[in-house]
Structure 1
């Protein structure tokens, strides 16, 4: 196994030793689908509102992972001097970043699979009807949100500050992104703001693909823009010590 692979496996073991992280990342989205499955009893109902429940669970778990867990972990490594010490070994800090991103993306995929399977097999939520659109929305949603999370990690001097910024962005994203409440029930100006936030664009793209249509070009473009701009900014500003 390569050095990066070994490091990724080690980081994954460290992650799984923290029950709270596992619960937030995977168990919470699944629990949300179960709760709303019991309440809504979809049974194959194709009402557009039914696309809200599984996509909300996915978006919530992805936002927690990208905006809270990832930046706090990386900022903590910098604060404790782990990255600085690793820079003197063949296992350089860049490989830590690669390992963290690989784990985060893998966990996001695992959570998505669990939400789709539990929702469909357990409560007959419909499956995403536009597979290509769903994959595009999910992939771009991941890259956009992880880029924002890495930017937080880049500018935060400590894990505590990273947590504070991440939590603030997390709750703001839930309000403006149509996660707390379906977009149909939000004032139009909030929906419009949400169109230009990474979580809002991801949420609307996932809902569109779930109902059988390709996500709007605007939403995909917003996700792509966040990926490029926040990603480049994070790479430029990130400090290993």
Structure 2
């Protein structure tokens, strides 16, 4: 009797795709960890921001204690630093030196590349959360227990969103422009994009724009969940929308060279 081998072939292809994505994610993770500049962006700057916010009065109206208001914002900054700035710059220069052109000849493909980079970002982000969270706990941070699972969900969704945005920029403009855009965006989003400071603290006429940014959705939602234990539905939808739109755009218009 004839045997239908199609299901087993499809299963084998799926396993092969997942394995390629996992290997790419492992490679990207090791590359980020071994890069001194990446470590500065990923760990040193967020810790400096944490201490700066804790020992000043910049967040005195956000929570009863500065550490409770500062830590969620610094965790959001870790996402922007690693997923957007770090990945954007690294990918931009990989394009310049022909690395992306070599990857284009493999079965990885655009989608596999994006998923591999998201996996690497999540791996590094987990390390950042452990380090930043550990320092914050030593400084007296007491997050709302009910909000921790939601905070993890927001961090994952934020990582996916900003990775897609970083790849979109890195895959469509020159490396020098990527370097300028991602660094400038890092400064603007950290200071006035709802990352370290609530979107409500910005001038009122900017609220309609800032409230729609993924940075504000991530920063404000983390503050809400980790301070009070409640969840922002609109922020969740905004992050999801940015993830889907940026992910589609990066997959569609990413240029290998």
The 3 A distance-change label for structure 1 pair 168 and 208 is same
Aligned runs of 1:48-87 on 2, under 5 Å? 50-87=67-104
1:155 partner SS = coil
Aligned to 1:148: 165
Distance 1:94 1:234, change over 3 A: closer
Alpha-carbon displacement from aligned partner over 1:71-97 (angstroms, at most 9, x marks no partner): 121121222112223434566676554
Taking a change above 3 Å as real, the CA distance of residues 128 and 110 of structure 1, as seen in their structure-2 partners, is farther
* Counterpart pick for 2:140 among 94, 114, 124: 124
Q: Distance in 2 between matches of 1:92 and 1:66?
A: 20
Matched, 1:105 2:122: yes
| Aligned match for 1:159, one of 128, 153, 175 | 175
1:219 corresponding residue in structure 2: 235
Structure 2 portions without partners, runs of 5+: 1-18, 58-62
Which SS does the other structure have where 2:171 is aligned?
Answer: helix
Q: State the alpha-carbon separation in 2 of the partners of residues 104 and 187 from structure 1.
A: 32
Larger radius of gyration: 2
Contact 1:173 1:199 in 2 (8 A): yes
Question: Helix, strand or coil for the counterpart of 2:236?
Answer: helix
Give the Cα–Cα distance (whole angstroms) in 2 for the partners of residues 100 and 94 of structure 1.
10
TM-score (norm 2): 0.78
Deviations 1:97-122 (A, max 9, x none): 443322112111221222222211x1
Distance 1:49 1:189 in 2: 27
Q: How big is the shift at 1:186?
A: 2.9
The verdict on how the C-alpha distance between 1:14 and 1:188 changes in structure 2, with shifts beyond 3 A counting, is same
1:12 equivalent to 2:29? Answer yes
5+ residue gaps, structure 1, are 41-45
Moved more, 59-68 or 168-177: 168-177
Instruction: Kindly report the root-mean-square deviation, in angstroms, between the aligned alpha carbons of the 2 structures.
Output: 2.8
Q: Identify which range, 122-131 or 31-40, moves more after superposition.
A: 31-40
Q: Could you tell me whether the CA contact under 8 Å between 1:176 and 1:191 is conserved in 2?
A: no
| Mapped pair 1:134 → 2:161 | no
TM-score for both structures, normalised by structure 1 = 0.83
Change (3 A) 1:37 1:65: same
**Contact 1:131 / 1:209 at 8 angstroms: preserved in 2?**
yes
Q: SS of the residue aligned with 2:230?
A: coil
Does the CA contact (< 8 Å) of 1:16 and 1:22 recur in 2?
yes
Secondary structure at 2:255 match in 1: coil
